[in-house]
Amino acid sequence: MSQPLVECIPNFSEGRRADVIEAIVRAMKEADAIHVLDISSDADHNRTVVTFVGAPPAVERAMFAGIRKAAELIDMTHHEGEHPRLGATDVVPFVPLRDVTMDECVAMAHRLGQRVGEELGIPVYLYEAAATRPERENLAWLRSRKFQYEQLREVIATDPQRMPDYGPAELGRAGATVIGARPPLVAFNVYLTTDDVAIAKRIARAVRHSSGGLRYVKAAGFLVEGRAQVSMNLTHYEKTPVQRVVEMIRREAARYGVGIAFSELIGLAPQAFFVEAARWYLQLDKFAPDQILEYRIQQAEAESRALPEEEPPVPEDAAQIVAAVQPPPRTPAPFVQAVAEGSPTPGGGAVAALAGALSAALAEMVARLTVGKKRYAEVEETMRAVVEAATSLRKQLVAAIDEDIAAFDAVMNAYRLPKNDPTRADAIQLAMARAAGVPLKVARLAVDAMRLAEKTARHGNKNAATDAATSALMGLAAVEAAALNVRVNAAGLRDAELAARYRDDVLALVAQARELRDTIVLIAEERAGIA
């Protein structure tokens, strides 16, 4: 039986001293049983990316050992390089690969962050799926060419927006570390036939999403080994495939009279990344993945292992009477009872998250009732995609129940600090921001669930159309309830700009949810014949 597998891709701020990288990797290997798959160093960026995999506990222990060793050997006060950086161990993403959920990777990020902050005294910021504030979901907000180690050192102790999630509000020689959980990402660079870095920067601005370019593309321009380089992170290679990115760079480069010299993969990438690029460039429109020889061999080997040559013998005690298995409970009675008991938590925020989870679950249910039905063969792939997306949303929203409870508890703990404690005011602001950020996340996820409900209402099994409508109604309830929590917590923030952003974002989500509710209910009524 295969074991759960997590990928970790730490970025260390050292790409010139091989002995330092060897010492860090050795410390990680000695900490626990992991498999180091790739080590990629760049002297110009002065940065090394290590890719390793293992069971979740092993990966977590190995990563702590790596951060500790990097803090010993890398002094950020003397570090320089092309790539933006905040610390010796700059970024640590956890990626679920096999039998591991994104929620479990988020929990790993929080545990590791707390341990690094408490035991090593290194400030830790959480990003992507592990972020505690919406703005920190994007790594570019935490770290950019204009804001990195030197700038953070000046403001970390005084700017509430830059308060770390774990560890001291003080920057030492090891700097800060950003830890998170995310889907697979591909680091991909394109080198141009010029040494004019200004052209690379203009092309990067054209292709990256934040400047109006391609979705799921982050890009910057550098001069590396005498060539202009467009350095990219492809954050969702399936939705924005690499071939689309390369062709856009090719067209942009032609405007300046230059071309593509060659491209470069940093670290590793999934097979599908290469297969889809080959299918596009070779115009293999009717290509199926099982046409790959190695795939077919792996499938045949797996089937041969799965089928025993002989029927196994029946154990002597096979006929003994065993106790009947009780079916799982179908009502969330313990949670409902906990809500009713009169304690502050779980409260409205947690209930909003539960409503969102039920919205996602219903969309998932309708999609599953559609998959495999001949009548709906033309939407089979769409419904399979809905199942996958709804499953992820459901799990994230269930996890948000505990996140909301923890956020409220953090607010109460901050208010319980002695009034003469100099950290009390900042602690309250940090906790209030988190208490507004969690329901904002819930509202966003619930709107995403409603969008899936629209697909199932429009294209799914029409016998379950009213279930899709119920999904929409639950989603709207989640968004409306979460919005109240965002607004009440944002009202307590000193930072007027941040408070306004929270309010504006959640009110926009409410407007979207209401419009979706109306559309979905109408579609469902028509398909169910009750309009």
Strands 89-98 and 177-181: parallel
pLDDT of res. 401: 93
pLDDT of res. 292: 81
pLDDT of res. 140: 86
Mean pLDDT of 471-493: 94
Q: pLDDT digit string (tens) for 384-441?
A: 999 999 999 999 999 999 999 988 888 888 888 998 988 888 889 988 998 999 999 9
To the question of domain 5-181 being in CATH 2.30.40.10, the answer is no
Closest CA to 452 of 510, 527, 365, 376: 365
Residue 396, CA distances (Å) to 71, 231, 359, 441 in order: 33, 31, 12, 10
Rounded (10°) angle between helices 465-490 and 496-528: 170
pLDDT of res. 98: 86
Which residues contact residue 492 at a Cβ distance below 8 angstroms, ignoring those fewer than 6 apart? 428, 432
Percent of the chain whose predicted confidence (pLDDT) is above 70: 93
pLDDT of res. 2: 59
- CATH 3.30.70.670 residue ranges of the chain are 186-291
Rounded (10°) angle between helices 242-255 and 271-281: 60
Which helix (H) or strand (E) segment holds residue 512: the answer is helix 496-528
Choosing from 45, 79, 83, 110, the catalytic residue is: 83
Residue 216, CA distances (Å) to 10, 51, 275, 276 in order: 20, 21, 19, 16
pLDDT of res. 457: 95
Cis peptide before 346 (omega within 30 of 0): yes
Percent of the chain whose predicted confidence (pLDDT) is above 90: 65
Q: How confident is the model at residue 82 (pLDDT cuts 50, 70, 90)?
A: confident
- Residue 348's SS3 state is helix
Backbone angles phi, psi at 100, to 5 degrees: -135, 135
Q: Which CATH architecture has domain 186-291?
A: 2-Layer Sandwich (3.30)
Q: Which residues of 230-243 are buried (b: 16+ CB within 10 A; e: fewer)?
A: bbbbbbebeebbbe
The token pair at 526 is 């028509």
pLDDT of res. 315: 52
- CATH 3.30.990.10 residue ranges of the chain are 5-181
Q: pLDDT digit string (tens) for 320-344?
A: 444 444 545 556 778 888 888 888 8
- CATH 1.20.120.680 residue ranges of the chain are 333-528
Mean pLDDT of 133-149: 90
To the question of domain 333-528 being in CATH 1.20.120.680, the answer is yes
Whole-prediction pTM value? 0.52
Told to judge if 236 belongs to the known catalytic residues of this protein, a careful annotator would answer: no
